[in-house]
Structure 1
């Protein structure tokens, strides 16, 4: 099941954040053009009221080897970045795990990145990598982008299906349990109470759709 997740990242966890130090109003956005070389996420648009006030001498910033201006107009600058991948950042977390970067935007000193993965476990691996390298990221959105054919058959919501599948894969339903509701909550970045509610409603819907029958459908009782 393909999933997408968005993360809010502290400005200090991603190179280029030094741009925010020079301007009070600036937006930095990943250009979605896929390069034909081995360069890693090289192109960005920098939007500001006046690009003449922008300090582009960022080659000495941690995590950056060189910034080259490709094009410049009054309120936008198109730049190419040569990263220093020896420095751990959200960028290296993306490169070293099985997630694909879909978008990235920085504004007001904060970054939001959206990634796609083939399954929930890959998102969990990305978060684990960040924790192990002391990178501060906060999950802000999580959703499935796969057709929920099975879930729709049982009238499950996307959130219920994600929670149930995660619980099954993590061994929550085994005896003894290999995962707790707190563990599932950590993976989904929601509270234990929210996990409990999703599981109860999801299980209830599965029972209603598979085992429960209306009175008219019930077989006659033996005398």
Structure 2
């Protein structure tokens, strides 16, 4: 069964976020992705910004082949971007895990994505790719399209599940502690810092999806 995930990534953590850098009170909204040969050319809206200076900055980026206006309205403009997505860890991970980009909205600080994956294993593989590339991904919602409230624990990636399971089994959360993060790192064959980060993300995800009630609109 397919799974949909909503998550946030700091704008500076991935190539497209750096290319489409905006300042002030503004936002960027992805309209669609148009495949051209092996490339993927996005169309996106720019809201409440000086479009000419923005376009010039985008065109100067070394990963951009071309960028141009498509339509211009009073409060927004539609642009097309021809760029090399192979250098973007997030979009490469989406492609390699058969993910589908449903929506993407960017601000000066963070981008919010909505993706569909064929199954939970593909989602876990995607999050693992992002972790390996040191992309700070924070999931805000994970659900099955036909069962919106099913399986919130799947927001954990496989490495996160492995780390927190090992920590509990080895008594890391016992008093006194049964092991240290250094011992967990040695068993997982990763760094002490990586263990700490995986445990932190795992705990945040578990609390977010099992304890904290979802926000409701007024």
Give the TM interval when normalised to the shorter protein.
0.5 to 0.7
For 2:99 and 2:155, the matched residues in 1 are separated by 18
Misfit runs of 4+, over 6 Å: none
Once the two structures are superposed, the pairs formed by residues 79-158 of structure 1 within 5 Å of their partners are: 79-147=79-147, 158=150
- TM-align CA RMSD: 3.7
Provide the residue aligned with 1:9 in structure 2.
9
Provide the residue aligned with 2:31 in structure 1.
31
Provide the residue aligned with 1:203 in structure 2.
none
Number of residue equivalences: 175
- Which structure has greater helix proportion? 2
Deviations 1:82-135 (A, max 9, x none): 111342332222222221111000023210111011211111111111122222
Query: Residues 52 and 64 of structure 1: is their aligned pair in 2 closer, same or farther, counting only changes over 3 Å?
Result: closer
SS in 1 for 2:85: coil
Deviations 1:1-44 (A, max 9, x none): 221111211111142545444x3121100114x63644514211
For 2:26 and 2:117, the matched residues in 1 are separated by 30
Q: Is the 8 A contact 2:142 2:155 kept in 1?
A: no
Q: Is the 8 A contact 2:5 2:142 kept in 1?
A: yes
SS in 1 for 2:61: coil
For 1:44 and 1:4, the matched residues in 2 are separated by 22
Once the two structures are superposed, the pairs formed by residues 207-222 of structure 1 within 5 Å of their partners are: none
Q: Kindly name which structure, 1 or 2, has the bigger radius of gyration based on alpha carbons.
A: 1
Q: Is the 8 A contact 1:30 1:103 kept in 2?
A: yes
Provide the residue aligned with 1:180 in structure 2.
165
Structure 1: 5+ residue stretches without partners: 149-156, 199-223
TM-score between both structures, scaled by the size of structure 2: 0.64
SS in 1 for 2:60: coil
Provide the residue aligned with 1:213 in structure 2.
none
For 1:8 and 1:55, the matched residues in 2 are separated by 24
Q: Is the 8 A contact 1:2 1:146 kept in 2?
A: no
Q: Is the 8 A contact 2:65 2:84 kept in 1?
A: yes
SS in 2 for 1:42: strand
Deviations 1:47-73 (A, max 9, x none): 115535534342232532221111122
TM-score between both structures, scaled by the size of structure 1: 0.63
